[in-house]
């Protein structure tokens, strides 16, 4: 699995006009090919009267699946430029659809590539790019005397705390970057003289 990747959370919309042809870009966060294809279908239904609804997506954290469609435009002038905007921004789990309304003037290969590229950029600029990191949820069971030591270690290492429960002992669930788990476990074990119980969860992205 990749240690981290960039994606978007909110949807974005952008528009580019070239010689009266309108290019409307839509971007959405997707977690699978099925979600991407459903989004493409949704935009096509919304713009059923448009000449073209071209698209591209990249999904999957490990060896992402990347696909694109020119939807009737000359080969290589629409879907591929859209995908290059996605990959150029380092984005994953993202689908972009660009709808074109023909303005009556042929744009040529260069004009099409530029227009689809600019529409894809515009919709991505309309949203916020975030970084998702692969972490191991680490449950730390400790007595109250050692709590301060553990909180200090987590704070010093900028480890996010997901949850804390206060009962007979304190149980902290911390989101530890996957590459730092052994290092953090060692530090906590040494600081508490092995009095803390540590339990790893399954890796996930946050």
Q: Residue written as tokens 């952008």? A: 14
**pLDDT digits 0-9 by tens, 17-34:** 999 999 999 999 999 999
Q: Which of the residue ranges 1-10, 58-67, 98-107 would you say has the lowest mean pLDDT?
A: 1-10
Query: Is pLDDT above 60 for 1?
Result: no
**pLDDT digits 0-9 by tens, 139-149:** 999 999 999 99
Domain match, 47 and 93 both: yes
Query: Is pLDDT above 80 for 136?
Result: yes
Report helix, strand or coil for 166: strand
Q: Residue written as tokens 């946050």? A: 206
Share of the chain above pLDDT 90, in %: 89
Nearest Cα to Cα of residue 98 among 124, 116, 118: 116
Q: Which residues pair with 34 in a beta bridge?
A: none
Please report how the helices 181-191 and 144-156 are oriented relative to each other, as an axis angle in degrees rounded to 10. Answer: 140
Domain match, 105 and 20 both: yes
Domain match, 50 and 91 both: yes
Distance CA 153, CA 188 (A): 7
Q: For the chain, what is the mean pLDDT?
A: 95
Print the domain residue range for 69: 4-127
Domain match, 9 and 98 both: yes
Domain match, 57 and 121 both: yes
Domain match, 143 and 162 both: yes
Domain match, 107 and 174 both: no
Distance CA 142, CA 206 (A): 25
Domain match, 142 and 189 both: yes
Torsion angle defined by CA atoms of residues 113, 116, 118 and 120, in that order, rounded to the nearest 10 degrees: -140
Q: How many structural domains does the chain have?
A: 2
């Amino acid at each position: 699995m990749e240690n981290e990747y960039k994606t978007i959370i909110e949807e974005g919309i952008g528009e580019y006009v070239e010689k009266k042809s309108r290019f409307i870009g839509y971007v959405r966060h997707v977690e699978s090919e099925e979600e991407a294809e459903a989004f493409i279908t949704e935009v096509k239904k919304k713009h059923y009267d448009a000449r073209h609804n071209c698209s591209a997506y990249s999904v999957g954290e490990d060896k992402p699946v990347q696909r694109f469609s020119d939807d009737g435009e000359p080969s290589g002038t629409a879907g591929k430029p859209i995908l290059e905007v996605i990959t150029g921004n380092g984005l994953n789990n993202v689908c972009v659809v660009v709808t074109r309304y023909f303005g009556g003037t042929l744009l040529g290969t260069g004009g099409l590539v530029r227009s689809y590229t600019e529409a894809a950029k515009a919709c991505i600029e309309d949203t916020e790019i975030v970084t998702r990191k692969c972490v191991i949820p680490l449950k730390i069971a400790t007595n109250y005397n050692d709590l301060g030591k553990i909180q200090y270690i987590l704070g010093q290492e900028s480890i996010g705390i997901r949850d804390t429960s206060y009962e007979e002992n304190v149980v902290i669930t911390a989101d530890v970057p996957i590459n730092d788990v052994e290092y953090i476990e060692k530090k906590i074990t040494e600081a508490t003289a092995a009095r803390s119980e540590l339990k790893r969860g399954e890796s996930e992205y946050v």
